[in-house]
Structure 1
Amino acid sequence: MKRQIAFAALPALALGACNFAPRYVQPTPPVPQSLPQGGVYPALAGTETAADALGWREFFVDPRLQQVIATALAENRNLRATLANVERARALYRVDSAALFPIVNATGTLSAVQGTAGRVTDNFLVQAGTSAYEIDLWGRLRNQSRSSLETYLATDEGRKATQIALVAEAASAWLSYAATADALRIAEETVASRRSTLDVNVRREANGIGTRLEVATATTALNSAEAAVADFRTSLAQARNALDLIVGKPLTDDLLPTTLGAGDQIRDALPVGLSSEVLLRRPDVLAAEHDLKATYADIGAARAAFFPTLSLTGLFGFASAGLTNIFNSGEFQKTVNGSLRQRIFDGGATANNLAAAKASRDAALATYERTIQTAFREVADALARRGTIDESIRAQSSLEANAATAYRISQSRYDAGVANYLEPLDAQRTLYSARQSLISARLTKAANMVELYRALGGGLVEVTRQ
């Protein structure tokens, strides 16, 4: 009886057993403590950033864009695959956790024995028990479970990173479509203007006050504009195809933007703090840290393999000659056995498993630090662009205004007969280029804000599982 009590108490004793996993200490981030500022970088506020706590609906303020992003989060196939991988990691963690508990099986048997007098005797047996339940004296099973937990958490952080990237990708594609629509409209307006100019030159030649060279030059300019319109129409169709792929289903026309305008479909400012600690909260950085923690648990499991394993086998049940009174017969049977196993020789497999676990830890540490460095660069690059884009837009806006003025003056000079046709044509080309460049600058600013939002870890939403 004392032996049975001792075996029964072993699972409780195992709860306080050894754990050979090394103690985890968060590595010091291999980046400056503050985000860059000064020079091309904008001056940053001294408060901690709230960008990663800002919901994407608060950042993307256009209702159509909000609906597009929501649809992408529900329909995008890459995100669905990521969610499935999260569920798989969760299930595997639960499988490893189940090893901490004994597996209990139940059996029932019936046997009939015929005696010499022809009488048949029935024997009934009902039993339940566990076989080879390992007592986790050295923490091997707990570290395996811990490793699976960290792997699951890393996968879930990967889901968040994929989600944030999808929000940014959908928004960027939507804004690119808007900018392409603006570029197409300018090209179409240029075609209409150059077609009108060609008609004027044809009439001037017919009346003897124009030349064939002016007609040919005007025709060339018109053809160039028509080719640009064809290219932009192709680009607009391709931009829609790309947006449909990102979203996961075809979008209706009412959800598509007609113009980028000044890019006010998103917030024009984002709170950014001085500390680079915000990078440690990015999902991809957290995922890398969970992977690193998993390797610490793997080392603990590998170290525990050097020590003997203690297995417990227990069986209890009832036996009776009659089924109706099997639980009342008082014939209760029970057995408890324990076995200790120590590996003597394995050709160095156990030692090499430990060496491999330590090498995996070193690799995971390097990956974690590299992930932080990459995050720092992404934020620094976005801040560098943010610090100069407004100046670029001001210059492009001034260029467009002056190019428009120059075109009007040169056209008036041509109409008055004091300038040849090449003067207004060159001015019109300059104006066309300036208008297209202004659209590109505005798109760059909008895309930069989206990238800064993503790089700071913003855009997170809760996932609704089916």
Structure 2
Amino acid sequence: MRRLLLVMLLTTTACSMTPRRTLPAPPVDHAYPVVDGTEALPEWRGMFGDPRLQRLIALSLDSNRDLRIAALNAEATYAQLRVQRTQALPGANAEGNYTRQRQPSSVAGAGVGLAPGGSATGFEFGQFAAQVALTSFELDLFGRVRAMNAAALQRWLASVEARRAVRLAVIGAVAEAYWTERLAEEQLFLARATLEDWQASLEITRLRRAAGQASGDDLEQAEGQARQARADLAQRERERVQATNALTLAVGAPLPADLPSALSLLDQPVRTALAAGAPSDLLMRRPDIAQAEHELRAANADIGAARAAFFPRASLTGAFGFASLALDSLFRGASRSWSYTPAISVPIFRGGELRGNLDLAKLRASSAVAAYEKAIQTGFREVADGLAAQSTYAAQLTEQRAAVVATERRTALAAMAYAAGQTSRIELLDAQRTTYAARQATLLARRDQLAAAAALYRALGGDVREKATR
């Protein structure tokens, strides 16, 4: 018992070779180019209000394969942490065995202690043994095991942050894929309606040509317009199928048949105005930055383990039990046996391995510092881009909608002028094409505005943090 207490005392008073690590200052400005107020980010259901989209996001959080892989990686890293933690604890094994052997008399002494069945040339005997053995337990005098434990803990925490980052990316990817699918669906609807209008215009032109009220050029223009509309319809059908496939992949499962009815792009209840706060908020919000910080701390702990490898390594192996030639007397007091073997190992020559490991650990720590700073710079850039988009898309969409109204009015006037014979068919054709393009551009701008809002939400770190507890 005294020896065990001495071991525990030596372990707890061990020194540490791990260098102190101060996180570098964020290599970004103290403010964003576009400044907004501060407020808490909404939970993703509060961010994306479309019930159909909410259902798809909830399904993706259970089915997406990237998220499943990230979760399994986090579990695997935690298992590695548990394995590493056992290195700081002594291992005990209960053992029992029976040995039967024959010894020649020249080894054991002829005629001395012969067991039944022995002879003048040797003897046979059996031995029973039972003991509790303490496996080789390292006395962590220089903190090598503690440094390895610290590195394993930080890598598990990094894997948890990686899972959060993937979860946030999945939410954003599903939202963007959904809006792209909505864009394709609405552009397809617009293409069909346009084809119907232009096909009707073609039929009217044919009747006017038969009555001698339209020229052959007018008929050719109307036919070309209808053919272009059919080509555009085929393109929109292809884009709709591809967008649905992309949405299915983002969700990670077939789309349910009982989804709520979809809302139009222009009616999507999405928060397109988000407050960014200060750049320092990213250090607490973004899981990728937190992941880089944990990787940095793990690399720093690796330096401590590499340094400690230069110093002597002490270990202890012991056993206590019973040994007897007869089973019925095995557990008697006279049959007790014990042993302990303290050992110390001092590195003398390793061919530069220890120095190489230390240099490698230092280089990896320097690389981790650069990765941490890069994560901060990337986050700052993404937020700055998102704020710039947030401040401009609203004005762009307002003007785009006004442009649609203007082109529709121009098309109506051109149609009346053409019917009255005051203008040529080409002017009406140009007005119709302009209106069609303006409507398509409005849908595209709205999709881009929604995607920019989702990107800013993701850049700010979202509201998807989970506690890393076990």
TM-score by length of 2: 0.91
Distance in 2, Cα, partners of 1:188 & 1:113: 94
Q: Does the CA contact (< 8 Å) of 1:174 and 1:256 recur in 2?
A: no
User: 2:100 aligned with 1:108, yes or no?
Assistant: no
For residue 14 of structure 1, report the CA deviation from its aligned partner: 1.1
Give the aligned partner of residue 228 of structure 2. Answer: 224
Residue 20 of structure 2: aligned partner: 23
Say if 2:179 and 2:265, in contact at 8 Å, map to a contact too. Answer: no
CA contact (8 A) 2:81 2:156 kept: yes
Please state whether the residue corresponding to 1:418 is helix, strand or coil.
coil
1:65·1:255 contact (CA, 8 Å) conserved in 2? no
What secondary structure, in the 3-state scheme, does the structure 2 residue paired with 1:340 have?
strand
Equivalent AA in structure 2 for residue 50 of structure 1: A
What's 1:299 paired with? 303
Deviation, 1:181, is 1.1
Greater Cα shift, 385-394 or 415-424: 415-424
Alignment of 1:175-254 (within 5 A): 175-254=179-258
**Aligned AA for 1:393?**
L
Determine helix, strand or coil for the equivalent of 2:131.
Answer: strand
The structure-2 alpha-carbon separation of the partners of 1:174 and 1:459, relative to structure 1 and needing over 3 Å to count, comes to farther
- Give secondary structure in 2 for the equivalent of 1:262: helix
1:33, CA displacement in angstroms? 1.9
Q: Distance in 2 between matches of 1:401 and 1:309?
A: 82
Aligned residue in 2 for 1:387: 391
> Matches of 1:131 and 1:222 in 2, distance apart?
85
Residues 113 and 461 of structure 1: CA distance in aligned 2, closer, same or farther (over 3 Å) = closer
- Show the counterpart of 2:283: 280
Which of 33, 58, 75 matches 1:70? 58
158-167 vs 130-139, greater mean Cα deviation = 130-139
- The counterpart of 2:372, out of the listed 350, 368, 371, is 368
Q: Which amino acid aligns with 1:99?
A: Q
- The farther-off stretch of 7-16 and 182-191 is 7-16
Deviation at 1:394, TM superposition (A): 1.0
**Which secondary structure state, in structure 2, belongs to the residue aligned with residue 347 of structure 1?**
coil
Q: Which moved more, 1:399-408 or 1:342-351?
A: 342-351
1:94 is aligned to 2:82: yes
Q: Does 1:357 align with 2:347?
A: no
Larger radius of gyration: 2
Instruction: Specify which of 42, 50, 59 is matched with residue 40 of structure 2.
Output: 50
Q: Which has the larger displacement, 257-266 or 67-76?
A: 257-266
- Find out whether 1:423 has 2:427 as its counterpart: yes
Deviation digits for residues 44-64 of structure 1, max 9, x if unmatched? Answer: 11x3x422xx32112111111
- Report the alpha carbon displacement of residue 434 of structure 1 after superposing the two structures with TM: 0.5
CA deviation string 1:59-115 (max 9, x = no partner): 111111111011111111121111111111111111111111122222212245895
CA distance in 2, matches of 1:137, 1:279: 39
Task: Report the aligned-residue RMSD.
Answer: 2.1
The one-letter code sitting in structure 1 at the alignment partner of 2:279 is S
User: Higher mean Cα deviation, 446-455 or 319-328?
Assistant: 319-328
> 1:348-398, CA deviations, whole angstroms, 9 ceiling, x for partnerless residues?
221221111111111110110011000000000111111111110111011
SS of 1:20's equivalent in the other structure is coil
Q: State the AA in 1 paired with 2:149.
A: S
Q: 5 Å matches for 1:445-456?
A: 445-456=449-460
- Partners of 2:299 and 2:161 lie apart in 1 by 17
Change (3 A) 1:306 1:207: same
Counterpart Cα distance in 1 of 2:467 and 2:314: 43
Instruction: Please give the alpha-carbon distance, in whole angstroms, between the structure 1 residues aligned to 2:4 and 2:256.
Output: 68
Whether contact under 8 Å (2:27, 2:377) holds in the other structure is yes
The question of whether the paired residues in 2 share the 8 Å contact of 1:96 and 1:145 is answered with: yes
Single out whichever of 280-289 and 11-20 deviates more from structure 2.
Answer: 11-20
Asked if 1:457 is matched to 2:449, the reply is no
Structure 1 pair 459–240 and aligned structure 2 pair: CA distance change class (3 A): farther
Shift of the alpha carbon at 1:441?
0.9
1:335 corresponds to = 339
Give 3-state SS (helix, strand or coil) of 2:88's partner: coil
Equivalent position to 1:414, from 402, 418, 439: 418
1:126 aligns with 2:117: no
CA distance in 2, matches of 1:7, 1:457: 49
CA distance in 1, matches of 2:348, 2:100: 47
Matched position secondary structure for 1:99: helix
Q: Tell me how far 1:11 sits from its aligned partner.
A: 2.7
SS of residue matched to 2:265: coil
Contact 2:17–2:307 (Cα < 8 Å) also in 1: yes
**Contact 1:7/1:312 (8 A) holds in 2:** no
**TM-aligned CA deviation for residue 461 of structure 1:** 6.2
Aligned to 1:316: 320
Q: Which amino acid aligns with 1:9?
A: L
- Are 2:81 and 1:83 equivalent residues in the alignment? no
Query: What secondary structure sits across from 1:32 in the alignment?
Result: coil
Map 1:121-160 to 2 at 5 A.
123-160=127-164
Contact 1:33 1:276 in 2 (8 A): yes
Q: 1:367 to 1:280 in 2, by over 3 A?
A: same
C-alpha contact 1:191 1:222 (8 A) present in aligned 2 = yes
Aligned AA (1:437): A
The alpha-carbon deviation at position 337 of structure 1 amounts to 1.9
Pick from 14, 31, 50: which aligns with 1:34?
A: 31
Unpaired segments ≥5 residues, structure 1:
38-42
Residue-pair matches, total: 451
Distance 1:69 1:325 in 2: 70
Query: What amino acid is the match of 2:317?
Result: T
Amino acid at match of 2:40: A
Higher mean alpha-carbon deviation, 449-458 vs 98-107, is at 98-107
Bigger CA drift: 334-343 or 370-379? 334-343
